Amino acid sequence: MSATPISKSADVDADADAASRDADIALELCALSRTFLLKRGPFRAPTPLLAVDDVSLRLHRGETLALVGESGCGKSTLAKMLLGLLPPTSGSVLIDGGQVDPRDARRTAQRIQPIFQDPYSSLNPRKTVAQIVGLPLRVHRRGARDEQDAEVRRMLDLVGMPQRTHGQYPGQLSGGQRQRVAIARALILRPGILVCDEPTSALDVSVQAQILNLLLDLKAGLGLSYLFISHDLGVVEHLADRVAVMERGRIVEQDTAERIFAHPNHPYTQKLLASVLTPEPGPGLPDPPAAGARHAARTLNVER
């Protein structure tokens, strides 16, 4: 009996598929953990606090991945590790397949940039809008001065900042304008990934909508990937493609935004969604007022 020849085409196709999937991943967190040591006094041993516990996530190109959870669950600590601002205790961060080195902040800054919660505190009040946005180009020595100035004008125009504001200072701008400046500064080096840490929570509702629409337009136009950190589930539902739910430093559930909001599986996710106030009309006050109600006597007296 002759042996059946083994075909290598299936293995080649499998390797090609794996390579394609890896190329589609912009950001990957591999078993990321961070422990802090809390001092308890001069004569007591420090207490370890596990702020981020074995987190693994993948952000695909052109995707918005929302990270949600209550305050203190580890979202901001995770963001600092992604940006190379804080070394992990264990695990690794990969951007475009390469590991982030906290000692090489310049290289990391060219690939991933943050947008912070409070645009006023994140902008230098003594610098003009054009100077703030152009600073990363000067730090990284991107082009001649006239080329830098032209790129700053293009970027400010892209985020909707009129030319008359380019020479103004942050204190002369509205909250929405300041956040547009922060977005322009984050994009000036042309990174592929933005870490948006509560970027609209300090803004009025009407301005929030404008900034969110701007982020959506920029994502489509520039092919950006967003890690969107927020506690506002209404914003997350509007913006996110996928959602990861974080509780006490761990990811307890992750799925598409549609499935998370329609059919949450984990008890913590269910409680998180149940805590959102919805503007649904209720039954209102009983008419006539129920016996024993504190306002019943006043209502009856008015009617008489």
**Cβ-contact 158, 222 below 8 angstroms:** no
Which pTM was predicted?
0.82
- Domains with residue ranges and CATH for the chain: 26-38+48-111+192-273 (3.40.50.300), 122-190 (no CATH)
pLDDT digits (tens, 9 = 90+) for 39-69: 887 878 888 999 999 999 999 999 999 999 9
Q: What integer best gives the mean pLDDT of the chain?
A: 86
Residue bearing the bigger pLDDT, 288 or 35: 35
Mean pLDDT check: name the lowest of 70-79, 115-124, 153-162: 115-124
pLDDT for 301? 44
User: Given pLDDT bands bounded at 50, 70 and 90, which one contains residue 5?
Assistant: low
Is the distance from CB of 196 to CB of 226 less than 8 angstroms?
A: yes
List, in sequence order, the alpha helices (H) in 188-256.
Answer: 205-222, 233-239
Long-range contacts of 299-302 (CB under 8 A, 24+ apart): none
Tell me, what DSSP letter sits at residue 115? Answer: E
pLDDT per residue as tens digits for the range 252-302: 999 999 999 999 999 999 999 998 766 555 555 555 554 544 444 544 444
Mean pLDDT of 118-138: 93
Average pLDDT over residues 218-247: 94
